[in-house]
Amino acid sequence: MAYSFTAFGLSLKSEIALPELKEGGNGCDVDIRVGKADLSGEIKAIGSFFRATKDEIQFDIKDVGAVTVKQGREIIISPLPHADWNRIRFFIINAAMASVLQQRGLKVFHASAVAWKERAAIFMGNPGAGKSTIAAAMHLNGFRVLSDEIVAIDFPAPSPTSGPVVLPGLHSIRLLPKSAQYLGLDLDPEPMLRTGPEEDKRVYSALGGFLERSIPLKRIYVLKEGDGNCLESLAPQDSFLEIINNYYTIGMIRAGGAPEHLRGCTKLISTVPVKRLYRAGSLNYLFGLIELVKRDLDNEPL
């Protein structure tokens, strides 16, 4: 059985059910299938986890098998017997999808993204910084969600008003149960997605709150715990380091294309303000933080 999905402006055809993605789409920009991948002789190991060239990458997943991404158009799953298909599915919509986007020339970050009055903002930070929780809280307070976990940024063809845009991404938010309970949200009982034994995130589906089109990027916020909610503008050097640290596929670009991606990051910080967003350590910080971000975005011209 073939499934059809859309994500990041692409139409996906898949032999595997992927309930985290929105159903639909015409054509086939990305083919997801089970099989054996034929790799070029140029592919080389990058550490012990994957091997890659600029246009193809193969991940070796312990006790699962291999997942190969080629030319931004194919995701090929080569499972071991008795492989856990939940883990495979999780890998497809994370590292494999990020690789597809990178191979297509997009800038890909581990972040969440929302929109306010045609202005997009992305939230970066270390694991546990609150990226997904903030996106969900903003969804409840008038913001539209663009993506969670993976954020893809494109630079459209130059025009007098062109600048970077955020593409519409995954149509779900992954939350810890305690965050969902605080926000009064019902989580999907299935599927539960785990990134490790310490994680217990579940999916919050709010399709009505997700945008289906790209939105101009106006702010990049880097989350950091503090005594209260406040903003601090970052110098260009600090902005560049934060952008690189949150690049989703930073290890992969070592296989090829690093100068191009570094130029893209430089261009990004030259066109979009990067600010450190300090937040209090408690979930009680959320609604004050939302008002702070609203005021900051309202000061940015459309």
The CATH number that applies at residue 190 is 3.40.50.300
Question: What is the distance in angstroms between the CA of the first residue and the CA of the last residue of the chain?
Answer: 44
What single-letter DSSP state applies at residue 192?
A: B
Pair (220, 128) in one structural domain: yes
Pair (209, 279) in one structural domain: yes
Domain count, the chain: 2
290-to-15, 29, 121 alpha-carbon distances in Å? 40, 36, 12
Pair (183, 289) in one structural domain: yes
Pair (226, 121) in one structural domain: yes
Pair (30, 167) in one structural domain: no
pLDDT-derived band at 232 (thresholds 50, 70, 90) equals very high
pLDDT at 195 over 70: no
Rounded-to-integer distance, Cα 109 and Cα 150, Å: 6
- Report the pLDDT averaged over residues 14-19: 90
Identify which of 76, 48, 78 has the alpha carbon closest to the alpha carbon of residue 66. 78
Q: Is 79 exposed, middle or buried (0-12, 13-18, 19+ CB in 10 A)?
A: middle
The lowest-confidence range among 56-60, 77-81, 158-162 is: 158-162
Angle at 64 between CA 41 and CA 201, to 5 degrees: 120
Rounded-to-integer distance, Cα 130 and Cα 123, Å: 9
pLDDT at 48 over 60: no
Is omega for the bond preceding 191 within 30 degrees of 0, making it cis? yes
Pair (63, 203) in one structural domain: no
pLDDT-derived band at 284 (thresholds 50, 70, 90) equals confident
Q: Is 298 exposed, middle or buried (0-12, 13-18, 19+ CB in 10 A)?
A: exposed
Pair (76, 114) in one structural domain: no
Pair (134, 276) in one structural domain: yes
Rounded-to-integer distance, Cα 238 and Cα 275, Å: 10
What single-letter DSSP state applies at residue 227?
A: S
Rounded-to-integer distance, Cα 193 and Cα 86, Å: 8
Cite the DSSP H helix spans in the chain.
Answer: 85-91, 97-103, 131-139, 177-183, 236-245, 258-271, 286-298
The pTM of this model reads 0.89
Domain end point (choices 42, 73, 104): 104
Pair (126, 193) in one structural domain: yes
CB atoms within 10 A of CB 27: 9
Domain extent at residue 15? 3-104
**Do the strands 230-233 and 274-279 form a parallel or antiparallel pair, or are they unpaired?**
antiparallel
Tell me what the pLDDT averaged over the chain comes to: 84
Rounded-to-integer distance, Cα 167 and Cα 40, Å: 31
Position 32 scores a pLDDT of 96
What values do phi and psi take at 260, rounded to 5?
-65, -45
What values do phi and psi take at 192, rounded to 5?
-95, 130
Cite the DSSP H helix spans in 25-176.
Answer: 85-91, 97-103, 131-139
Pair (49, 185) in one structural domain: no
Rounded-to-integer distance, Cα 286 and Cα 137, Å: 7
> 82-137 pLDDT, tens per residue?
888 888 988 899 989 999 998 998 999 999 999 999 999 999 998 888 899 999 99
Instruction: Indicate the helix (H) or strand (E) that contains 162.
Output: none
Position 16 scores a pLDDT of 92
Exposure string over 212-232, b if 16+ CB within 10 A, otherwise e: eebbbbbbbbbbeeeeebebe
Pair (116, 36) in one structural domain: no
Pair (87, 123) in one structural domain: no
- Report the pLDDT averaged over residues 249-276: 78
Domain end point (choices 67, 86, 104): 104
Domain end point (choices 84, 104, 124): 104
Identify the residue whose tokens are 């070796």. Answer: 60
Identify which of 131, 212, 142 has the alpha carbon closest to the alpha carbon of residue 170. 212
